[in-house]
Amino acid sequence: MPAIRKNTVERLDRPSSYATSKNRRKNNRRDDDSRRDPTPEFEDKLKDATTLYVGNLSFYTTEEQIHELFSKCGEIKRLVMGLDRFQKTPCGFCFVEYYTHQDALDCMKYIGGTKLDERVIRTDLDEGFAEGRQYGRGKSGGQVRDEYRNEFDPGRGGYGRAYADEYDD
Amino acid sequence: MADLDVKFDDREDRRDRGRYNRDNRGGNNKRRRDDEDDHHYTPRDDRRGPQRRRRDDYPRDGQRRGRYEEPPFPKLRRMIVNIASTAKLPEDESIEIARLLRDHYDDEDIRNQFFDVFVQLIVDQPFKIPFVAAVAFYGNQVKAEITTEAMKRVGERLQESLAAGQWREFKLLLRFFACLQPIFEEDGIFTLLGQLFDTVVDLQSANENDVVGIELVKIILLTIPYAIASGGDRFHDKANELLNSTGIVAGNTLPVEALIHPYDDDIEDTVINYHSVIGLLQQQLTAESQSGWKLACIPKFHVDAMQRTNPEDTLQATPATHVFPTFTIPSPVNPGSKPLFPEAYFSLFANQESSIVPALNDIAASLIRDAIVDTIDQLDFNREVVAKFLVDLDCYWSHGTFANRGIALDKFLQEFGNDKATYKSEDMVIDAIFSLLFKLPTPEHKLVYYHSLITQCCKAAPAAIAPSLGRAIRSIYKNLHAMDLELGHRFLDWFSHHLSNFEFRWRWAEWIDDLKLSKLEPKKAFIVAALDKEIRLSFAKRVRQTLPEEFSLLIPERLDEDNSPEFKYEKPETPYAAEGQMLLQQLRKKATHEQVQETIDRIHAQAEEQGISDVLVPSTDAFVTAICRLGAKSLSHFLSCVERGRERLVNIAQQSDSARRQIVTSVVEYWKDQPGIAVRIIDLLLNYTILAPMTVIQWVFGDHMGAGEALTESWVFEMVSNTVTKVTNRNRQIASARLQRGLPAEQVEMVDATLTKDRDNARELFRYIEDACRGLAEGAADRLIEKESSGALSAEDGQLIRAWGKRWSMVFVRKSAIEESVVGEQAVEARIKFLAAQPEPEVVELVKVDEANGAGAEDGDTAME
């Protein structure tokens, strides 16, 4: 039996370059500390992934809307909304957990890159939600990408927050 | 050459038109790929293609640039993967690839890698099979080993798929051999087709309801035309002989086929009557044989093309002929891991008088459809590429099969109105996608795949696809009353989802007259349901903006406000108002169990005074409504409230069936303007086993049905089918756990016991639904009779309700029959027997599959119990 059959067409259910590069950064750091046991390989971690990171949501998109769309790929086990660290309001991302890996892959293929609430959303395989990850990591509490945005995005709080602060001062 | 240029211009043109929505880009470059609406997928290897061509066409300063010589394997790979998709003649491409391969044939790595791609291409990209086969065909003229190796590699994969019952792959790999028919000695592929038919005879005589044989006949019938197209007239007799034998099987109708009619055949003038795929194929092939096997749409290759292009570069001797490889048809035949069913041929456009798509008696209908469908279903992992292939459909069939891309309908009718052999490619694509969306009993992939594929096609070629799509929608809408109800719901779900991807743009105004219809009319029910579904994916104010005023009236004004639905206990006239408010306070402040019980007892006391028989009903109403109010902010809020009251809810459920059904009533009543949320909540309560599946079904048909009016509410259908699906999914998981090889004896016993019990529960559930639906369909339901005789319901409305009842009934009778065929005693036993007869190597693979299912079953357990 041949080992792995590579499709003649690229697959949309692969982890994104973001997830891969994040892993690479981690690996680099780990190299410095060689005594620690190696953590399971990145691909291994995602090979049974049932969770997806969902990005580019509008701040106003509700859990119900997300449920309505994402349950088209299978029953949702858990939905964790991404929140602004300080205000505890939605800040434009979420984690969707399915019961099966296949549902998560199908979601990558069929829902990633389509619209929810009239915005093209991004899905990425995720190693699984952990407490704390629901909060934005930007300086002002939201996602980093919303700190320094030059364009006005009404669904994500207008201009980048770093600039908005400048104007306020 | 002239028309090739046109083709190229065409392509540029499409690309421009695609750029219609630049402004929507999010601005973040990192996310460009996702945000860009006009994203055109180009396979990685494709990138170099056009650039190179351009460089060749308009050489710049050749010396300064230093020519880059592409290494042989990447070049071969790029060429074969993109075969027939470029502006070159496919014939020339095949010859070029064959020659290049010959030049590097001694390099084992290149050879191996090339044939890996070669085989995979057949399975991945069905449109290209004739062209890929042409490489082996011309390869035979430059170096016979190329053909020998190709046959060996494709043959290995073919044998593997045959052993595993992977019928689609088997069919595609077989087509490759059919396309090589001219180079085989004697009968070539017809020997194998004959053997396959012998197997069919065995299967059919062993079991009159056999479906594997039907699948095999389909494969045989779809292989014949390719073998004739390539092999020519010396095989006509063989083909006719085979057709004579398949006739009986193809013309036969199985009882289960009565359940998969997309449209009710009793109603005249609908979109399409029932035709089985193999029945139709048999007719079309018979017609084709009578008109001399023209098979106009299949691309053909000239034997002497090689000599024409480069006379001195050809083997001097006549090309070798080959013995057709022998394959083993396993006995018993492996039916494959997916349940098989007979298939209905579905087309939205075939019944129209003009030949926008091939007529039903035209073999092109089945051939092109089959290839489109396989392309779509094989490549579900990249809808962007599929959309590109579909837009390029005309590249893969013989010249003249299709009118120019994106031709307007009136222009098409003018030019090709009487030409029965020229079709409109966009309509064929849309027709094929809908046939998959509407496949009964179950679609190949999740329905949302077909949603996103249609969206993708609209992005890839908006001006060409959109008009066809509009015609499709109108045709479906017009015949909703005759369409299978499950399909009607698939349409509804697709329609609302599709619009949500395109700013909710639809010409609602053309349906304005239908607003006057009775609520019981399928068209009116569809409009109401579509708006609800749109709102679920967006919000009321937004959807309202996209509608003519008349439609806007269907959306309750309350939904424009940004607050929770009203809490009925806030109104003093509501019975138990004080207690209801108290419960809300107590829940909010996380009061103790005793404190809550005190309030509940007060309701019980009052209810008892009023002579209410089950006092748990009003107290449950207050308790559940308070939970809904407190958890109204979001589903997470609701879930954390349910957690707080879980123990009490479980107790209620155990004490009284009517109180248990009251839970459903309260949820639905609280969310009456947003039934989608109620449906979602009921689903969650089933997971918590606060509700049982039977509770929901009895609530629907007992408490909520009225005289049958509720049959028109799409959310009610959704609630019932979600509940049924939950039950059947679980049973399937248990059944697949049972089929695990090497399951210890004590576990076999345990799993068997669970399966027996749950199977009986599911049967009871189905029986309940079927009885209730039949009662309404036949007009025998008590409340329907009452309302009709009192005049509260007009005779027409009574007839409408009967029709709804009939459509509901059909859906659940089908679902029940399908489940029997998968998890019923007979089905499971047959599967166990088959597995037991399999040799060891199968085990490894099977255990792996079942592990996945087993894990699913465990998850299901925690969710259900």
Which of B161, B500, B725 is the mutation pick for testing A, counting most A CBs within 10 A? B500
Contacts of A11 in chain B (CB under 8 A): 381-382
Give the torsion sign (CA, B59, B65, B70, B75). negative
CATH architecture of A49-129: 2-Layer Sandwich (3.30)
Residue of B nearest to A13 (CA): B381
> pLDDT exceeding 90 applies to what percent of chain B?
79
What pLDDT was estimated at residue A161? 77
The minimum CA-CA distance between B682 and chain A, rounded to whole Å, is: 13
What pLDDT was estimated at residue A160? 84
Going by pLDDT thresholds of 50, 70 and 90, the confidence category of residue A20 is low
Residues in chain A: 169
Rounded CA-CA distance B12/A169 in Å is: 50
pLDDT at residue B44 greater than cutoff 60 = no
Residue of A nearest to B853 (CA): A100
Contacts of B863 in chain A (CB under 8 A): 75, 77, 99
pLDDT at residue B857 greater than cutoff 90 = no
Contacts of B860 in chain A (CB under 8 A): 99
Residue of B nearest to A70 (CA): B448
Nearest to A109 among B44, B117, B380 (CB): B380
Average pLDDT over chain B, rounded to an integer = 89
Range scoring the smallest mean pLDDT among B184-188, B284-288, B840-844: B840-844
Of B646, B727, B721, give the one whose Cα is nearest residue B690: B646
Contacts of A63 in chain B (CB under 8 A): 634-636
SS3 A114: coil
Contact B446 A10 (CB under 8 A): no
Contact B124 A9 (CB under 8 A): yes
Q: Which two tokens stand for residue B51?
A: 């650039």
Rounded CA-CA distance B647/B690 in Å is: 9
Q: Which two tokens stand for residue B713?
A: 């509410």
Going by pLDDT thresholds of 50, 70 and 90, the confidence category of residue B863 is very low
pLDDT in tens, B147-170: 999 999 999 999 999 999 999 999
B363-556 and B700-836 share one CATH topology?
no
Contact B34 A73 (CB under 8 A): no
Complex ipTM, two decimals?
Answer: 0.89
Residue of B nearest to A145 (CA): B28
Residue of A nearest to B494 (CA): A72
Residue of B nearest to A151 (CA): B27
- Looking at residue A8, its amino acid is T
Rounded CA-CA distance B62/B582 in Å is: 87
SS3 B107: coil
What pLDDT was estimated at residue B420? 84
The minimum CA-CA distance between B119 and chain A, rounded to whole Å, is: 10
Contact A100 B859 (CB under 8 A): yes
Which of A1, A9, A95 is the mutation pick for testing B, counting most B CBs within 10 A? A9
Going by pLDDT thresholds of 50, 70 and 90, the confidence category of residue B750 is very high
Fold of B700-836: Topoisomerase I; Chain A, domain 4 (1.10.132)
Contacts of A113 in chain B (CB under 8 A): 33-34
pLDDT at residue B26 greater than cutoff 80 = no
The minimum CA-CA distance between A118 and chain B, rounded to whole Å, is: 6
pLDDT at residue A41 greater than cutoff 90 = no
- Number of other residues whose CB lies within 10 A of the CB of residue B764: 13
Fold of B363-556: 1.25.40
- β pairing state of A90-98 and A115-116: unpaired
Contact B537 A120 (CB under 8 A): no
Nearest to A56 among B26, B44, B539 (CB): B26
Contacts of B33 in chain A (CB under 8 A): 113
What pLDDT was estimated at residue B58? 45
pLDDT in tens, B304-337: 888 777 666 666 567 889 999 999 999 889 999 8
Contacts of B852 in chain A (CB under 8 A): 100-102
The minimum CA-CA distance between A39 and chain B, rounded to whole Å, is: 24
The minimum CA-CA distance between B495 and chain A, rounded to whole Å, is: 13
Of B42, B101, B59, give the one whose Cα is nearest residue B77: B101
Give the torsion sign (CA, B822, B217, B223, B294). negative
**Which residue, chain included where needed, has tokens 């029709």?**
B803
Nearest to A115 among B381, B445, B500 (CB): B500
For residues B533 and B493, is the Cβ–Cβ distance under 8 A?
A: yes
What pLDDT was estimated at residue B840? 60
State phi, psi for B186 to the nearest 5 degrees: 50, -130
Contact B381 A109 (CB under 8 A): yes
- Looking at residue B428, its amino acid is M
Q: How many helices (H) and strands (E) does chain A have?
A: 5, 6
The helix or strand, by DSSP H or E, that contains position B246, with its residue range, turns out to be helix B236-251
Nearest to B680 among A7, A67, A69 (CB): A67
What pLDDT was estimated at residue B11? 36
Nearest to B448 among A55, A72, A75 (CB): A72
What pLDDT was estimated at residue B319? 82
Contact A12 B680 (CB under 8 A): no
Contacts of B120 in chain A (CB under 8 A): 5-8
Q: How many CB pairs under 8 A join A and B?
A: 138
Nearest to B34 among A63, A102, A122 (CB): A122
SS3 B425: helix
Contacts of A5 in chain B (CB under 8 A): 116, 120
> What DSSP assignment string belongs to B21-88?
-GGG--S-GGGHHHH-TT-----GGGTHHHHHHHHHHS---HHHH------HHHHHHHHHHTTTSSSS
Query: What value, to the nearest 5°, has the Cα angle with vertex B719 and ends B737 and A121?
Result: 85
Contacts of B855 in chain A (CB under 8 A): 100
The minimum CA-CA distance between B681 and chain A, rounded to whole Å, is: 10
Of A95, A113, A1, A105, give the one whose Cα is nearest residue A47: A105
The stretch B195-224 carries a mean pLDDT of: 95
Q: Which two tokens stand for residue B269?
A: 């003038």
Contacts of B121 in chain A (CB under 8 A): 8
Contact B863 A77 (CB under 8 A): yes
pLDDT in tens, B408-456: 999 999 999 888 889 999 999 999 999 999 999 999 999 999 999 999 9
- State the DSSP code for B347: -
pLDDT at residue B683 greater than cutoff 50 = yes
What pLDDT was estimated at residue A21? 66
Contacts of B27 in chain A (CB under 8 A): 149-151, 153
- State the DSSP code for B703: I
pLDDT in tens, B529-585: 999 999 999 999 999 999 999 999 999 999 998 889 999 999 999 999 999 999 999
State phi, psi for A149 to the nearest 5 degrees: -105, 130
CATH of domain B72-272+288-300: 1.25.40.180
CATH of domain B564-691: 1.25.40.180
Of B634, B693, B671, give the one whose Cα is nearest residue A67: B634
Contact A72 B455 (CB under 8 A): no
Domain ranges, ordered by start, for chain B? 72-272+288-300, 363-556, 564-691, 700-836
What pLDDT was estimated at residue B418? 82
**More confident of the two residues B859 and A149:** A149
**More confident of the two residues A13 and A36:** A13
Helices (H), chain A: 17-32, 42-46, 63-70, 101-110, 161-168
Q: pTM for the complete prediction?
A: 0.89
What pLDDT was estimated at residue B8? 35
SS3 B539: coil
Contact B446 A115 (CB under 8 A): no
For residues A94 and A80, is the Cβ–Cβ distance under 8 A?
A: yes
The minimum CA-CA distance between A126 and chain B, rounded to whole Å, is: 17
- Collect all residues with Cβ–Cβ distance below 8 Å to B553 and sequence separation of at least 6: none
